[in-house]
Amino acid sequence: MGFEDIALYAVVAVSILALLYAVFLARQVLREKTGTSKAQEVADAIKSGAQAYLKRQFKAVLLLTIILFAVVFASAYFAKQPLNISIARAIAFLIGAFFSATVGYLGMNMAIAGNRRVVVAAERSIKEALRIAYRSGTITGMLTDGLGLLGGTIIFIIFKIKSPEVLLGFGFGGTLLALFMRVGGGIYTKAADVGADLVGKIEKGLPEDDPRNAAVIADLVGDNVGDCAGMAADIFESYEVTIVSALILALALMPFDMKWLIFPLLVRAIGVVSSIIGTYSVSWWKTNDPFKAMDFSYDLSSVISTTSFFFISYFYIHDLRVFWTTALGICLAIAFNKFTSYFTHPDRAPVTNLAKTTKTGPATLILNGLSLGFESSVWAILIIAVVIFASIMIFMKSGISYILYGVALTGIGMLSHTGNNVAMDVFGPIADNANGIAEMSGASKKVKQILADLDAAGNTTKAITKGIAIASAVIAAVSLFGAFTEAAKLQNIGLSLADPMVFIGLMIGGAVPFLFSSLAIKAVGRAAGIIVEEVRRQFKRPGVMTGEVKPQYARVVEICTKSAQKELLSLGLIAILSPILVGFSLHEKALGGFLAGIIITGQLLAVFMANSGGAWDNAKKKIEDGFMGGKGSEEHKAAVIGDTVGDPLKDTAGPALNPMIKVINLVSLLIVPVILTVNNQSPVIGYVISGILLIIIVWAIWKSKSDKVTFKLEDDIESSVKAKK
C-alpha cells in the first residue's frame, strides 16, 4: 500500500472523527439542565414550528430532486461518459442532497436543544452560557466537515481519476438543497421578524420577544430555519464545490501527478483536526467577551492549519507554492473576519456613527446604512482581487491551468475551518433564541443581560460568517469558472470582451443577481405585510394586550411557512434554467461571459446587502443597550425601521446569492458538454430548447411577482386539534 492510499484512508478516518466529535458534543449538551416548565413550553413551540417547516420544505423539493436526478444522469450520458460514471454521478447527486439536508436538519435540532440549556447556564455565568451555545453550534460545524469530507473522499477512493465527474453530481446535490434552504429559510425568518418589529416595537412599544406579540414564536423559529439550517447547507456546498473544482483542475496539470489530487483532501483533513482543537478551546480563554473567545479559537485553528500545510507541502508535494496558496485562503478568511467585524460590530466606528444618525430620523439612518454597504463592498472585492492576484503571481510561470488550480487551493484553504465558521454562525441563532426564551419565560434581570450580551456577539458572528460565506462563494465560483473553461474548450480561444457574444452574456449574467434579489425581497415584503395585518388583528382581541389571553402563535407560523414555500420553485427554476437558456441560445462563449457577470455583481450585491443589514441591526442593538436614549426613544424607533429594511437584505437576498452563484456555475459545468454537442450537430434543437426554457423562466418570474396569496388558517391551535379528531 503506497503513501497515497494510506493518506486517503487517513482522511476517511478524520472525517469519521469529526462525526464522532459531533456525537460527543451532543451528549455533553443534552446532559445539561433544560430549565423551567415555562421555558420548556416556549422552546417546544419553537422546535415544533421549525421541524414542521423543514419537513414541508423537503416535501416541496422532492419532485424537483427526482426530475434533476434524471437530468444529472443525462448530462453525463450525453457527454459520452461511461454508463457506470453516468449512474454514479446521478446517485452522488442524491447523496449530496441528502447530506446537505441532514446537516441542516440535525444541526438545527441540536441548536434548538441547546437554546433552552443556554438559558439555564446563564444563571451560572456568561462563560458557561457561551460554552454550551458555542458547542451546540459546533455540532453543526462538525457534521458539515465530517459528511462533506467523508462523501468526497469515498467517491475519490472508488473512482480515482474519474472522481471529478462523479463529484460534480455530489456538489450539485448539496448546492441545490442549499439554495432552497437559504431562500425558504430567509423568507420565513425575515417575514416574521419584520412583521413582529413593525407592530410590536413601533406601533405598540413592546420589547423584543414580548409574549403578547403573535409573531414572536415565528420569529424565533425563523432564526433556526434561516441561520442554522440555511447557513449549514450553504457552507456544506461551498465545501464540496471547492473540492470538485480543485480536482477537475488538478487533472489538467501537465505533467499530471496523483499528488495534485491528494493534496486538497489532506488540507481538508488537517482543517478538520484544527477545527476540533479550536472549537473545543473556546471556553479556555480568560475573557468574558464572547466574541473575543471565539476569535481567539479561530486564530488557534489557523496557526495549527497553516503550520501543518507547510510540512505537507515541503515533505510530500515538494513544492511550497501549494503552501502559499492554501495559506492565502486562511489569510482571506481572517481578513474577512476582521473586515466584516469592523463594518458591523456595535463598538466600531461605522456602527456607532450609524446609530448617531437616528437623531434625525429613519431616512438619514437608511441613507447612511446604504452608504456603508456600498463602501464595504468595494473593499471586499479588492481583498478578494488581491488574493487572486497573489495566487496568479505564485503560479505565473507555470501557465493558466496551474494558476486556476492555485485559486481553487485558496478556496480549499479558506474553508479548511468550516467547523469554526459554522459554529460561529449557529451560535448566533442559539443566543437569539435563548434570549427570546428568557424574555417569554420571565427569567431574572441578570440572566437577561447575559443573554443580551451573547445575542449582541451572535449578531457580529453571523455577519462575519456571512462575509466568509460570500467570499468562499466567489472563490468557489472562480474555481468553477476555470473548470468550465476547461470543459468548454475555451482555454485556447479565450473569452474576449471584444467579442459581442461574450459581452452580451456578461450583461445578462450581471443582471441576474438583481432579478433574484428583487424577487426574494418582494417575497419578504409581501409576507411581512400579511403578518403585520394578522398581528394587528390579534392585538385587538380582548385580553391579549393585558396578557390574560395567549396570542394565536400558530397562525403566524403557518403564514410564514406557506409564504416561504410559495417562492421556492420560482427562484429555483430561474437559477437552474437561466445558464442552460444562455448556453443553448447564445452558445458557450456567451455562457462564459454570463458566468463572469454573475460572479462579479453577485459578490458586490451580497456584501452590500449583508453589511448594510448587519450594521442597521447592530445600530439598533446598540441603542437598545442605552445608547442615544435607549429603548422606547424616537432614536430607537428610527433604528427599528432601519433594521426592518436591512433584515431581508442581510438574511434573505444577500445569503441566497451565495448558493445561486454556485448553482448557476455547477449547472453550466454539467450541461456544457451537451450544449457543445447539440449546438455543433443540431443547432435547431438548441433553439427549440431555448424557446421552451424562456417560457418557463418568464412564467416563474410572473408567478413570483404575483401578489395573490391565499391562506386557509385555523383560528387557533385548539381548533386545529379538534378538526383532526
Would the pLDDT of 256 be above 80?
no
Taken in order 46, 52, 57, 58, the sign of the CA dihedral is positive
Question: Cis (ω within 30 of 0) for the bond into 255?
Answer: yes
User: Measured at the alpha carbon of residue 521, what is the angle toward residues 516 and 525, in degrees to the nearest 5?
Assistant: 150
311 pLDDT higher than 90:
yes
The answer to whether the beta carbons of residues 332 and 326 sit under 8 Å apart is no
pLDDT of residue 517: 92
SS3 626: coil
**Mean pLDDT on 498-517:** 91
For residues 231 and 560, give the distance between their C-alpha atoms in angstroms, rounded to a whole number. 19
- On the question of pLDDT at 715 being above 80, the answer is no
pLDDT given for residue 497 in this prediction:
65
Q: Taking the CB of residue 389, how many other CB atoms lie within 10 A of it?
A: 10
Neighbouring C-beta atoms of residue 536, cutoff 10 Å: 15
Question: Which of 301 and 564 is assigned the larger pLDDT?
Answer: 301
Q: What percent of the chain has pLDDT over 90?
A: 28
Question: In sequence order, which residues have a C-beta less than 8 Å from that of residue 375 and are 6 or more positions away?
Answer: none
Q: What mean pLDDT is predicted for residues 505-511?
A: 94
Render pLDDT for 162-197 as a digit per residue (tens, 0 to 9). 888 898 899 888 888 888 888 888 888 888 888 888
- Counting Cβ atoms within 10 Å, is residue 604 exposed (0-12), middle (13-18) or buried (19+)? buried
- The answer to whether residues 253 and 405 touch, using CB atoms and an 8 Å cutoff, is yes
> In terms of pLDDT, which residue wins out, 61 or 312?
312
The whole-angstrom separation of Cα 275 and Cα 149 is: 13
Residue tagged 480563554 (cell numbers)? 285
- For residue 596, give the nearest of 498, 495, 674, 471 by alpha carbon: 495
Q: Cα–Cα distance between 278 and 416 in angstroms, integer?
A: 12
d(CA 149, CA 239): 8
Of the pLDDT bands very low, low, confident and very high (cuts 50, 70, 90), residue 724 is very low
Tell me which residue of 685, 691, 607 sits closest to 650, measured CA to CA.
607
Model confidence band, residue 495 (pLDDT cutoffs 50, 70, 90): low
Confidence category of residue 496, pLDDT binned at 50, 70, 90: low
Given pLDDT bands bounded at 50, 70 and 90, which one contains residue 490? Answer: low
Of residues 267, 223, 239, the one with CA closest to residue 419: 239
Of the chain, the percentage scoring pLDDT greater than 70 comes to: 95
CA distance 512 to 416: 30
Q: Quick one: which of 316, 616, 679 has its CA closest to 488?
A: 679
Q: Which residue has the cell 449582541?
A: 456
pLDDT digits (tens, 9 = 90+) for 266-301: 999 999 999 999 999 888 888 888 888 888 898 899
Of 22, 233, 234, 50, the C-alpha closest to 137 is 22
C-beta separation of 130 from 53 below 8 A: no
What is the reported pLDDT for 263?
Answer: 93
CB distance 148 to 236 below 8 Å: yes
Closest to 302 (Cα-Cα) out of 324, 338, 334, 267? 334
Q: What is the DSSP string of 292-335?
A: HHHHHHHHHHHHHHHHHHHHHIIIII--THHHHHHHHHHHHHHH
Q: What is the mean pLDDT of residues 28-36?
A: 88
- Give the Cβ contact number of residue 341 at 10 Å: 19
Total residues belonging to the chain: 725
Could you give the C-alpha distances from 243 to 152, 353, 413, 416, in angstroms and in order? 8, 41, 11, 11
Rounded to whole angstroms, the Cα distance separating 239 from 605 reads 22
Question: Has residue 12 got a pLDDT over 50?
Answer: yes
Of 128-132, 136-140, 335-339, 360-364, the poorest mean pLDDT is in 335-339
Residue 468 · residue 330 · CB < 8 Å: no
Residue 351: its pLDDT value, please? 92
pLDDT digits (tens, 9 = 90+) for 594-617: 998 998 999 899 999 989 998 998
Cβ-Cβ contacts under 8 Å for 437 (sequence gap 6 or more): 35, 39, 42, 43, 46, 115, 116, 119, 220, 443
- In one letter, which amino acid is 399? G
Tell me the backbone φ, ψ of residue 663, rounded to 5 degrees: -60, -50
Residue 216 has pLDDT above 60, yes or no: yes
- Are residues 609 and 518 in contact, defined by beta-carbon separation less than 8 angstroms? no
Q: What is the pLDDT of residue 716?
A: 42
Nearest-5° angle of CA 457, CA 463, CA 465?
100
Q: What is the pLDDT of residue 722?
A: 41
The three-class DSSP label of residue 456 is helix
Closest to 645 in 3D by CA, of 619, 623, 617: 617
pLDDT, tens digit, for every residue of 340-386?
888 888 888 999 999 999 999 999 999 999 999 999 999 989 988 89
CB 100 within 8 A of CB 173: yes
Give residue 707's pLDDT.
Answer: 61
Q: Look at residue 237 in the predicted model and tell me its pLDDT.
A: 73
The DSSP 8-state label assigned to residue 206 in this structure reads P
Whole-angstrom Cα distance, residue 20 to residue 385?
A: 38
What's the pLDDT at 494? 52
pLDDT of residue 624: 84
Euclidean distance between CA atoms 264 and 217, whole angstroms = 43
pLDDT digits (tens, 9 = 90+) for 16-28: 999 999 999 999 9
Q: What is the per-residue pLDDT for 692?
A: 94
Residues 418 and 141: beta-carbon distance below 8 Å: yes
Judged by average pLDDT, the poorest of 86-100, 201-215, 466-480, 569-583 is 466-480
Q: Which of 47-51, 274-278, 488-492 has the lowest mean pLDDT?
A: 488-492
What is the reported pLDDT for 471?
A: 80
Nearest-angstrom CA–CA distance, 702 and 710: 17
CA atoms within 13 A of residue 650's CA, in its CB half-sphere: 32
pLDDT at 426: 87
Judged by average pLDDT, the poorest of 307-316, 490-499, 539-548, 641-650 is 490-499
Please, is 6 exposed, middle or buried when counting C-beta atoms within 10 Å of its C-beta (0-12, 13-18, 19+)? Answer: exposed
Cα separation, 246 vs 476, in Å, equals 9
Mean pLDDT value across the chain: 86
Q: How many CB atoms lie within 10 A of CB 20?
A: 13
